[in-house]
Structure 1
Amino acid sequence: MPDWLQLMLTSFWPLLRGGLIFTVPLAILSFILGLAVGLLVAVVRLFAPKPLVWVASFYVWIIRGTPLLVQLFVIFYGLPSAGILIDAFPAALIGFTLNVGAYTSEVIRAALTSISKGQWEAAYSIGMTTRQAMGRTILPQATRVALPPLGNSFISLVKDTSLAAAITVPELFQQAQRIVAVTYEPLILYIEAALIYLAFSSVLTALQSRLETQFGRYGGFLERVR
């Protein structure tokens, strides 16, 4: 067996374990929390009083206008100088959540504004409150619109978690770096890490396509009901 193949087989489980224990949970938790933040920010920017709109807009402006790596460094390396110590994984979770929240808020805001005013008026005409109209009429339709870009955001997030290696989170890419430091075989190890990321992304892309198909059927049902 060639030495390079032996090295790939030997390092496969440590890399995959780093992905399963740190990369995948970090991506899932960050996306769920970021989605909640994004929904809140989108609703604030659309319906809240002006002062809150300005705060939400400032948050989106700051996060979208600065690199994610810099944000992670500020949280993990910068905050300790102000007396705020955060462990690596929570720091990464906070950084990714804030980043995802800013970007998904724009996706959600665009999806909500894409729903015609007639849908609001129809909901109000049958006695729904604004909250009921949002939950029962607007959000289900907006979800169908937002699903493709949100799916793309999640797939990108899985790959972006490699940046957490810069703040010592032992995820997939840092595991590759640690093995490289011992074996001095960066090309083989980094290609193997890339292939594992590719496998994760391929599975998620297939799941995204299936979800879009299901929501497409749901949307078609809604159109027939109307």
Structure 2
Amino acid sequence: MGAADELLGEDVVWVPLSLTLIEYPQGDLLGKLLATISLMPFAVLSGFVTLILFRRDLHTIVFFGGVVINELLNYVLKHIIQEPRPMRRDTLYSEHGMPSTHAQFMWFIAAYMTLFVIYRLHQISEKFWRILIVLACIASALLVTYSRIYLQYHTYSQVTYGAIIGAIVGIAWFIFVHNILTPIFPVILTWKLSEYLLIRDTTLIPNILWFEYTHVRSEARTRRKLVSMKSQ
């Protein structure tokens, strides 16, 4: 008997943390690939957390707020509709399948990013990169959506409604952020909490990567000169 059994008792039933446990037909290489692709929402969420922690950009935080609202809406709809999935699995954390969480999540991201590229990244001269970003978002949403059908986690109607709801929420959230929240970003930055958390707004900077690169390079050169002068 293990230490945990002694502490909790012999009648304890152990269950797996099934949030990321994706099943696929044994020996099916396409199924294995789609099962991996189906984990893409977790990679996106990890990226959000990383960006928020290390960049502290206000728009990224607001974007993530829309993701949270979209997920809460999905949770509420699932427990109101209570439509079962096409295949019952013991390792699922939710037996309800309408609408598909994965489809709603990915199409929220795809819709929001498409509008973001069109209206907020129009300063970038390389049209190729703007088109590539949009196509990558849509292709990712399509692949994840298809993977949920192929792996029999959802029906066609469940992923279709999930995609429609996610796209609608993504469009609505972008309109709200673009027209309502963005104009008050300067006010939000004056709050003591924003200063304490080092929150910043890069909305008006067209190419943040180039901006940071040039400023870091300039600052490094200045500091090297100061170190050189002190050592003489």
Question: What range describes the TM-score normalised by the shorter chain of this pair?
Answer: under 0.3
Flag the structure with higher helix content: 1
TM-score after normalising by structure 2: 0.26
The TM-score with structure 1 as length reference comes to 0.27
